[in-house]
Structures are given as C-alpha cells and as structure tokens.
Structure 1
Amino acid sequence: MKESENKMKKAVDALERNLSQIRAGRANPAILDRVTVEYYGAPTPLAQVGTVSVPEARMIVIQPWDASILGDIEKAINASDIGIHPNNDGKVIRLNFPPLDGERRKELVKEVSKRGEEAKVAVRGVRRDSIERFKKQKKAGEITEDGLLDLEDDIQKLTDRYIKLIDTIVKEKEDEILEV
C-alpha cells in the first residue's frame, strides 16, 4: 500500500512541476527550469549561471555571474519552447511577458486539463497494478478473500483521494489562467 501511495504522490508532484511551467500571465521563474546554457562546454541549468529574479509581475530578469555568457543565455532562451524573446542590454537579460488574450487563455486551460487527465491516468494505472499484485498474492495463498476485498477497497479510497487532489490542483491552475 505504501509503495502505491508513493507512486500516486509522484504522479501528483510531476503534475505540479508541469503546471508550474505553464505561463499564466504572470512571470514565473519556473518556466526557465528546463533551459540549459552551454557553460564551459557543459549544459548547465540557467539558475546555476546567474540570478533569476521577478522585479515586476510580467518580467523576469536574468543577471549572469559571468557577463561573457549573456549571448549564450539569449540563444538558449530563444531555442527553448517558452515563447518569449529575451532583451539583452549587455548586463542583464529581461523577459517581458505580454498579457494573455482570451484565445490563448482557452488554449492554456485545455493544456492544463490534458495534463490533469494524464496524471489521473497515471494514478489509475498504479491502482490497477496494485490490484493485480493483490490478486496474485491471494492466488498464492498469502492473503484471504476478505483481505483481498479490504485491500481493493483501501486502494480505491487512496485513488479517489489522489484524483480529488489532482482535480483541485487543475482547478486552481485554470482559475489562475482565467484570472483577468
């Protein structure tokens, strides 16, 4: 049971990480988590080559510790799929986030919903695998029929709890996106 709960928790954690990278009209440094910069011949996460800050609601400022890599940071951001073009002033890079229009908000809500469904599928997969494991244990004589029914009931309650949590997380993100 504990193993199943850990797997369900990992699915929820992955959903939260994915949703943090979806831009909701406000600047969020988490969208830069997957951006890597070529630094001394090695791909390095952006947060490890400089300071990333949010001075305004719609702006991220990246100040590298080594000014010679400003161009590399700019290239890495352009090559990423975040959809924001960097402004390089020779000292820092600024990312200005335009306000979201209605159509883009609807697309983002659909994306959030899709990712929520993927997380639910992952949780249900854990439930299915657990029930199969319980049935094998019953067949091997390790647990009784009543024990099997109790375990199936427990895993269903656990699944329902995580599905409800996913629904809550998705709803909060959708509300954040639709907030005008």
Structure 2
Amino acid sequence: MADTLESRMQKSIAALKSELATIRTGRANAALLDHVTVPYYGTEVPFTQVGNISVPEPRVLMITPWEKSLISAIEKAILKSDLGLNPTSDGDVVRLILPELTEDRRKDLVKQVRTVGEKGKVSIRNIRRDANDEVKKQVKDEGLSEDESKRLQDRIQKTTDKFIAEVDHIIEHKEREILTV
C-alpha cells in the first residue's frame, strides 16, 4: 500500500511541475509552448512535432519549423493562444520575444503559482484520505488490529507531510524565479 501511495503522490508532484512549467517567468522556456498546438495536415499537434524550439537568448524563444510552409500556421497558433506574445518571422524561423515582466504582472504570476500549488496539495490530501479510508476498510472487513491501523495511518501521514513539504519547496522555488529581476 505504501508503494502505491508514494507513486500516486509522485504523479501529483509531476503534474504540479508540468503545470508550473507553463507559467511564464522572466526567462524564455520552451515549456511555455507545451499547451499550444499547430494545425498540421488537418490535425492539431504540439510544437515539438513541427519544429525545433531553442532559447538563443534569455528572453527569446526561436522556433525552427521543419517545413517552411508552417511558419504562418505557427504564428497564428501563437497569436490565438493565451500567451500574449507577438511572433516575428524572417521566413526561416519564428521568434518570440518575451517582454520584461512588470511588478504587477510578477505579483499576478505569484498568485497563480500559489493557486496551482494549493491544487497540488489538495490532490495529495485526497490521496491521503483514500489511503486512510482503505485502512479503515481493512479494520472493518479483514479484522486489522487497531494498533496496526494506527501505525499505518501514522505512516500515511508522514508520507503526506513529506510530499506537502516538497510542494512547498517547488512553489517557493518558482516564486523566487518569477520575482528575480
């Protein structure tokens, strides 16, 4: 049971990291484009399947499509996305220049990060609740002793505390990254 508890909580941490990667900081990061898709032969595909994404400078993302005909589709997909960026193209590559973040925008991003972090904590607490319910069910159905039940619930709580602390650490790191000018 402890293995499934830890693996489920690890998946929550991975989902949290994935969601945080899409939140913009002052630096360019290819993960910003993870949730944006491009129409390619009638199918919506992620940017990683239509070209290379590189970061030539700290505030510039450069997309080099494998087919030159995709440049206009890439530009349109970026404009339609919620990134708020204006792509520029020279016929070979598409560049995204990330503007300097204002103090207000940084504060908004920190609030967004905290909201995402809280969702991660709720997810971990839900996993804890499920595990505790499973222990209570074993007490009722299989005759698990009260002492063993208490020991298992303590272990579940310690595992939960460890993962909540990890979420706090991840959120703190992301906030520092955003607030660094």
Structure 1 runs not aligned, ≥5 long: none
Counterpart for residue 9 of structure 2:
8
**1:53 counterpart SS class:** strand
Q: Give, as a single letter, the amino acid of the residue that structure 2 aligns with 1:137.
A: Q
The reply to whether residue 58 of structure 1 matches residue 59 of structure 2 is yes
Q: Give, as a single letter, the amino acid of the residue that structure 1 aligns with 2:107.
A: K
Higher alpha-carbon deviation: 46-55 or 83-92: 83-92
Partners of 2:86 and 2:147 in 1: how far apart? 61
Partners of 1:142 and 1:4 in 2: how far apart? 22
Partners of 2:60 and 2:102 in 1: how far apart? 17
Residue deviations 1:55-84, cap 9 Å, x none?
000000101010011111111111111111
Partners of 1:30 and 1:108 in 2: how far apart? 16
Percent identity, please: 48
Counterpart for residue 103 of structure 1:
104
Q: Give, as a single letter, the amino acid of the residue that structure 1 aligns with 2:119.
A: E
**2:142 counterpart SS class:** coil
Aligned residues: 180
Counterpart for residue 81 of structure 1:
82
**1:140 counterpart SS class:** helix
The reply to whether residue 24 of structure 1 matches residue 25 of structure 2 is yes
1:7 positional shift: 1.1
Partners of 2:94 and 2:88 in 1: how far apart? 5
Counterpart for residue 156 of structure 1:
157
Q: Give, as a single letter, the amino acid of the residue that structure 2 aligns with 1:147.
A: E
Residue deviations 1:103-147, cap 9 Å, x none?
000000001011111100000000011101100010012421111
Partners of 1:147 and 1:157 in 2: how far apart? 15
Partners of 2:14 and 2:84 in 1: how far apart? 24
Counterpart for residue 34 of structure 1:
35
Structure 2 runs not aligned, ≥5 long: none
Residue deviations 1:22-56, cap 9 Å, x none?
11110000010111111111111111111110000
Partners of 1:142 and 1:14 in 2: how far apart? 36
Partners of 2:143 and 2:33 in 1: how far apart? 49
Higher alpha-carbon deviation: 5-14 or 148-157: 5-14
Task: Please report the TM-score for the alignment, with normalisation by the length of structure 2.
Answer: 0.97
**1:60 counterpart SS class:** strand
Task: Please report the TM-score for the alignment, with normalisation by the length of structure 1.
Answer: 0.97
When the two chains are superposed, the root-mean-square deviation of aligned CA atoms in Å is 0.8
Partners of 2:82 and 2:104 in 1: how far apart? 19
Partners of 2:41 and 2:126 in 1: how far apart? 42
The runs of at least 4 consecutive aligned structure 1 residues that moved more than 4 Å come to none
